[in-house]
Chain A
């Protein structure tokens, strides 16, 4: 895979609501910060790929609202309408193709502005599932129950996993949930979709994130710490919850295998340092870790709670802040940020589309 570097990044402090900023202002905040950090401007950006959702934004053509903020006038921009990790794939391809030397990848969402229950319902097939009132959080509940049963684990597993994520989030200034609820507090939070309680489900947030990609040649002109994109894998699964065993994520395993193959990862537990996943529930925090091969099936809580697992979702993951499609790009930034200080050569960032992970994207980042 053609090496392309992430030479800079910026993200907002993800908030429950940002009534002070419209989409243009939110996007400008991170792009302005990126350019300030790098000493660059729009002249240094050859092309842009954005990630946002028409449904979350309440706006058909959701990238139209940010054009001026990202320096798009009279330049080539496109939009991946999925979790930002997938947008990174397209951004990488634009640079790796040789057509552009630099690419800004940006993602935004303001979940506070929409009716998330209605949006979460609109994500499912309109013939058989939507009429039942099914929504994304219900799907998370179904999956969590199935996963617990498959591994014969108690419900407290989910509360303990969430508590472990929140302990990590406490040190992340950009996370939303930073008050460190313990497993008891998590278990006692409002029930949402059995067996999941509110604190076991990712926190909806308003936020934005961007990063700048540079070709191998161009990357030399950037002084700071860089993370190199070494491998990617993407894979789609069935959409219908009933079409698969929710405790088994074929698509994540295939995406992981492809990413590992491209990046030359043969021993993930030894080669990979920071790992960041888009976990929409604390069940997924655990399930994804197993699917990535970071620990044995059914042993993920142990992994998470021990020092070996400290590098997993050190940011708190999406559980601590889920700014819609920006979440996957935030994971890339969090992984890139921690890579330089890691004792291992590689980092992993994961994104997923659909509450059950109906599509997964896995990125492997390498040190400078």
Chain B
């Protein structure tokens, strides 16, 4: 087996609808500076950098090149990872494997997106991820794909819309404790149900926003960890899982509610020695792009039985004060700079393990789970732990 790897520093911008005050390279630099500051290090402590975003959103080809210097890449090795919604978590995973392989001891993962600079809406860009003949004519971005899934889920399990809305209520309440979160305004179930419908059954307040933001996370090998003063967050489980190209192939008798997450989590749990995720994991940072997905993903992760996602949220277990707090950062529903979003999940999980969460710190965290989602319903999972 390869080397053990830990997170030794994290940094992120204060995510916003728009950051007109910075160019893309400057936005990236903010996150990198903050990660280095958090790690009590300078660029000399970084051996390689992996960077990513989704090119078509900002309309920049070879988008690793323009912010390369600000990211710290001049004169250093690195590469760009871009996998759509999973970009951020893919960056964390790429940094992990690079360190675990022994190629470089200290690798900085940098994810960013400046969606305010997108020519069309984000939906326009997302539609182009799909097949030009068979899928683009009907698809309305991530929203409609998730809506199709939610319709079948709701029909199969008779989930009342108020239960799905709870995921947003918790997320927005959590965002109030996180100065980096984009949407920092609490909402009620009534607010969610009164918001405009986007694509049945997903309403505006069920869905994540689009944000400008960047995040950087420094990974170090077990030999290098000692050079960083803060507590390390050890990666104890990693896996990712992909699926068919066509969304139509993902529908069997009903659309599968994220079998890729179940598959990825199962392998990550096995690596981490977790047999009872609901009780052995202290906090989760889940890439839940909408409220309905949160209910579905809770089942996929094994936190509750099939069809019980609504009850799980209604029970209060995933609230900040509950026994398995769900995205205390406010999650994707509060903040979504797409190329960074998956990496923010890993950063926030590391923050929880390292005890750096301030107002959003969940007490006594020893194990945290971070997930990524995107593409044709791909899933990525990373488990971080205080103990090596």
Contacts and interface: CB of A to CB of B under 8 A. Distances in A.
Given A59-B128, A78-B83, A238-B74, A232 B2 contact: no
Interface in B91-134: 93-94, 97-98, 100-103, 125-126, 128-132
Interface in B34-84: 48, 52, 54-57, 59-62, 64-66, 68-69, 73-84
B75 A122 contact: no
A74 B260 contact: yes
Q: Of B79, B128, B245, which is in contact with the most chain A CB atoms at under 10 Å from its CB?
A: B79
B23 interface: yes
Interface in A326-342: none
B241 A90 contact: no
Interface stretch (A156-164, A249-257, A266-274): A249-257
Given A60-B129, A64-B129, A359-B65, A122 B241 contact: no
A184 interface: no
A117 interface: no
B140 to A, nearest CB: 15
Interface string A237-256: 11100000000001100110
Given A60-B84, A96-B102, A353-B64, A90 B79 contact: yes
Nearest to B57: A60
B244 interface: yes
Interface in A1-19: 1-2
A80 interface: yes
A53 B61 contact: yes
Contacts of B65: 123, 236, 239, 353-354, 358-359
Nearest to B126: A60
B100 A64 contact: no
A235 B49 CA distance: 10
B59 A122 contact: yes
Nearest to A4: B101
Contact of B101 (A60, A64, A77, A97): A97
Given A59-B128, A90-B94, A254-B75, A239 B100 contact: no
B146 to A, nearest CB: 16
A74 B264 CA distance: 8
Contact of A82 (B1, B79, B83, B90): B79
Contacts of A238: 68-69, 74
Contacts of B77: 233-236, 255, 258
Contact of A74 (B3, B79, B125, B242): B242
Contacts of A59: 128-129, 132
Contact of B55 (A55, A68, A254): A55
Nearest to B63: A81
Interface residues of A, number: 64
A234 B125 contact: no
A262 to B, nearest CB: 9
B375 interface: yes
Interface in A194-221: none
A289 to B, nearest CB: 22
Contact of B75 (A66, A87, A236): A236
Contact of B79 (A76, A234, A239): A234
A126 interface: yes
Nearest to B104: A93
Contact of A78 (B1, B23, B66, B90): B90
B79 A89 contact: yes
Contacts of A2: 101-102
Contact of A358 (B60, B68, B81, B239): B68
Contact of B69 (A60, A232, A239): A239
Nearest to A360: B77
A147 B270 CA distance: 56
A368 interface: no
Q: Of A60, A68, A127, which is in contact with the most chain B CB atoms at under 10 Å from its CB?
A: A60
Given A119-B61, A236-B68, A358-B65, A72 B97 contact: no
Interface string A77-117: 11111100011011011111111000000000000000000
B2 A97 contact: yes
B318 interface: no
Contacts of A127: 23
Contact of A81 (B66, B82, B97, B249): B82
A235 B76 contact: yes
B41 to A, nearest CB: 19
B18 to A, nearest CB: 16
Given A60-B56, A122-B59, A74 B241 contact: yes
A185 interface: no
Contact of B239 (A73, A76, A250): A76
A125 interface: yes
Contact of B244 (A67, A92, A93): A67
25 contacts: A2-B102, A53-B61, A59-B129, A60-B54, A60-B128, A61-B54, A63-B83, A64-B375, A64-B376, A67-B245, A74-B243, A75-B241, A76-B241, A77-B240, A78-B93, A81-B81, A96-B101, A97-B97, A97-B101, A127-B23, A235-B76, A236-B68, A236-B73, A236-B75, A361-B79
- Nearest 8 CB-CB pairings of A with B: A61-B84, A97-B2, A234-B77, A97-B100, A96-B101, A81-B82, A93-B101, A236-B73
Interface of B: 1-3, 23, 48, 52, 54-57, 59-62, 64-66, 68-69, 73-84, 90, 93-94, 97-98, 100-103, 125-126, 128-132, 238-245, 249, 259-260, 263-264, 374-376
Given A63-B375, A64-B129, A235-B76, 6 more contacts: A58-B128, A60-B57, A64-B245, A76-B264, A123-B61, A358-B62
